[in-house]
Chains A and B, each alone.
Chain A
Amino acid sequence: MALPAVAVGLYLGLVWAPPDAMMGNVQRIMYVHFPSWIATALSYLTGFLCSVLYLVRRRPALDHLAQAGVEVGVLFNTTGLITGSIWGRPTWGVWWTWDPRLTTTAIMLIIFVGYLLVRAFLEDPDARARVGALVAIVGFVTLPIVYFSVRWWRTLHQPQSSPNTVDPEMVVALRTMMVAFALGAAYLISRRYELARLEAAAEQSEVEPGVGTA
């Protein structure tokens, strides 16, 4: 479902929607930049909720889902930052600036990359899940800070736009791509969850020979 939605979204964003009156065609970067953040937020939210639930219920499946959410979140966090940087060069004149929105977003990415590194270094599955859950919870605290940063500190990055202030065709194209990216993130999280589950079963069978995945 994600692939047809992306195809329709690409047509709407690159062909059907009009260019921006001020920025011209470069505004079309919005159709991959903003949906990247929707996918990031959904993925990190999955990681956060499953981490909280893991600390309460201690079910390995919750840890696997948290791991999947964070990893996919890091992917879309990265595409969001790169497309933002590419958009920044022609509009702001720089690839990167220490604007509060950009800085908080980079901090968020660093924390969640740290989550993946911590998990890679810890060998004990229980410690890995507990420490990972704590890092994911701390990392998720940065998400509302990132969201509100453009309101709290009004600097270079524009605040959130209202759908009422832009061309309706742009809104349709943007929403189509948002749905496509959300579906894509959900698909990748489900695949990554299955991989985490299989890896945990393989790890368990190494510790206790004879234990299968069934």
Chain B
Amino acid sequence: MTDNTGFVVAAYVVTAALVTLYTWRLTRRLKQARRTADHQLPGG
């Protein structure tokens, strides 16, 4: 049984990085869309 810790770390880091990046971009786009919607409201 060899030490494959590096592969385990890589799998967890890649998963965390992709999910975090997607969540961060989604949050940013959502904030922008809410701001745009607020400006479009009558009297906004």
List A residues at the B interface (Cβ < 8 Å). 10, 14, 22-26, 28-29, 32-33, 36, 75, 78-79, 82-83, 86-87, 89-90, 184, 188, 191-192, 194-195, 198-199, 201-202, 205, 212-214
The reply to whether A191 and B7 form a contact with Cβ atoms under 8 Å apart is: no
Q: Which residues of B contact A199 (CB under 8 A)?
A: 33
Q: Which residues of A contact B23 (CB under 8 A)?
A: 188
Known contacts A29-B7, A184-B19; is-contact A198 B12 (Cβ 8 Å) = no
Nearest chain B CB to A24's CB is how many angstroms away? 4
Residue in A33, A79, A195 whose CB lies within 8 Å of B19: A79
The reply to whether B11 and A32 form a contact with Cβ atoms under 8 Å apart is: yes
Q: Which residues of B contact A212 (CB under 8 A)?
A: 37, 40-42, 44
Q: What string of 1s and 0s marks CB contacts (under 8 Å) between B7-43 and chain A? A: 1101110110011001100110110011011001110
Count chain B residues whose beta carbon lies closer than 8 angstroms to a beta carbon of A. Answer: 28
Q: Which residues of A contact B44 (CB under 8 A)?
A: 212
List B residues at the A interface (Cβ < 8 Å). 1-5, 7-8, 10-12, 14-15, 18-19, 22-23, 26-27, 29-30, 33-34, 36-37, 40-42, 44
Q: A211–B39 Cα gap in the complex (Å)?
A: 12
The reply to whether B29 and A86 form a contact with Cβ atoms under 8 Å apart is: no
Q: A25–B6 Cα gap in the complex (Å)?
A: 10
Known contacts A188-B23, A191-B30; is-contact A32 B12 (Cβ 8 Å) = yes
Residue of A nearest to B21 (CB): A75
Nearest chain B CB to A206's CB is how many angstroms away? 10
Q: A79–B11 Cα gap in the complex (Å)?
A: 9
Q: A23-B1, A87-B11, A188-B26 are in contact. List 18 more A-B contacts (CB 8 A).
A: A14-B8, A24-B4, A25-B3, A25-B5, A28-B8, A36-B15, A83-B14, A86-B7, A86-B14, A87-B7, A191-B26, A198-B33, A198-B34, A198-B37, A201-B37, A202-B33, A202-B40, A213-B40
